[in-house]
């Protein structure tokens, strides 16, 4: 029955990535609040490319070489850098055509662990665009949530569940893992009111303390940015 169907699974954090084996041809990295939303927005708005780096030290090296560098840790802009991972910062007209180097608490680490595969970037902003593209590829897909400091978080799991749900509903995909089934049902519980569902999430509380509610609202909007970032030779570009 399933022989001709492809597999889609959800992995809750980069620390669990090795447990899912090497059979997946495409990895969709998700960090809804806010890295993958910012990356998708940036490339859609005209940033030429984004170089993801996993450490602040590496980001500093790039800054010393004259690159535009964005750095975020624990929801805040790292001291000495111009901006962090707010999607609004990436809309600046002066960034059009530029290369931007980016390091974040969770998202760029997830990209790093998956970089040996084909990596594409997902978020709620590009949900239908990424799902439609995945349905055309006919390849096994792992949806990798960035989570929060190697632990599962709500917003990434819900977004991953939305992707898995759509692929499974197409009847072109199936899944075996309980993580995927749980993510799918979590999404179904949340989809009619994502914002209030995530009101109690730990990361939203962290971001609220930083007074960046507008970022949160932006990142929870579905299908607002029809762009798919893809990792090519270590650099994120618009597909």
Instruction: Tell me the pLDDT band of 197, cut-offs 50, 70 and 90.
Output: confident
What's the rounded Cα separation, in Å, for the pair 75 and 58? 19
Rounded to an integer, what distance in angstroms lies between the CA atom of residue 46 and that of residue 50? 11
% the chain with pLDDT above 90: 82
**Closest C-alpha to 114, from 238, 181, 51, 22:** 22
Q: How confident is the model at residue 210 (pLDDT cuts 50, 70, 90)?
A: low
Q: Report whether pLDDT(1) > 70.
A: no
What are the pLDDT digits (tens) for 142-194?
A: 999 999 989 999 999 999 999 999 999 999 999 999 999 999 999 999 988 87
Instruction: List all residues 6 or more positions away from 77 whose beta carbon is below 8 Å from its beta carbon.
Output: 71, 83, 84
pLDDT at 228 over 80: yes
β-sheet bridge partners, residue 99: 49
Looking at residue 3, what is its pLDDT? 66
Is 151 in a helix, a strand, or coil?
A: strand
> Could you report the per-residue pLDDT of 49-106, keeping only the tens digit for each?
999 999 999 999 999 999 999 999 988 999 999 899 999 999 999 999 999 999 999 9
Whole-number mean pLDDT of the chain? 93
* Residue boundaries of the structural domains of the chain: 6-42+105-231
CATH 3.20.20.70, domain 6-42+105-231, yes or no: no
Q: What is the DSSP letter of 24?
A: -
Long-range contacts of 58-64 (CB under 8 A, 24+ apart): 58/103, 59/101, 59/102, 59/103, 62/101, 63/101
Judge whether residue 223 has pLDDT over 90.
yes
Torsion of Cα atoms, 44 then 124 then 90 then 137, to 10°: -40
pLDDT at 137: 97
CB 229 within 8 A of CB 120: yes
Instruction: Report, in angstroms and rounded to the nearest whole number, the Rg of the chain calculated over CA atoms.
Output: 17
Nearest partner of 157 among 177, 173, 134, judged by Cα: 177
Average pLDDT over every residue of 134-148: 96
């Amino acid at each position: 029955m399933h022989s001709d169907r492809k597999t889609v699974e959800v992995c809750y954090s980069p620390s669990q990535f090795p447990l899912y084996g090497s059979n997946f041809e495409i990895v969709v990295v998700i960090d809804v609040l806010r890295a993958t939303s910012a990356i998708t927005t940036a490339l859609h708005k005209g940033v030429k490319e984004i170089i993801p780096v996993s450490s602040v030290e590496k980001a500093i090296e790039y800054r010393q070489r004259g690159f535009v560098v964005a750095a975020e840790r624990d929801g805040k802009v790292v001291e000495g850098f111009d901006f962090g991972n707010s999607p609004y910062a990436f809309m600046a007209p002066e960034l059009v055509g530029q290369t931007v180097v980016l390091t974040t608490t969770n998202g760029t680490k997830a990209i790093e662990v998956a970089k040996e595969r084909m990596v594409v970037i997902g978020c709620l902003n590009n949900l239908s665009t990424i799902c439609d593209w995945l349905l055309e590829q006919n390849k096994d897909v792992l949806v990798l949530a960035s989570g929060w400091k190697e632990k599962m978080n709500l917003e990434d799991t819900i977004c991953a569940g939305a992707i898995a749900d759509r692929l499974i509903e197409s009847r072109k995909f199936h899944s075996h893992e309980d993580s995927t089934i749980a993510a799918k049902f979590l999404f179904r519980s949340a989809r009619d009111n994502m914002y209030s569902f995530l009101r109690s999430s730990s990361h939203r509380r962290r971001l609220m303390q930083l007074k960046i509610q507008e970022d949160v609202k932006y990142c929870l909007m579905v299908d607002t940015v029809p762009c798919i970032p893809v990792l090519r030779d270590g650099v994120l570009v618009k597909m």
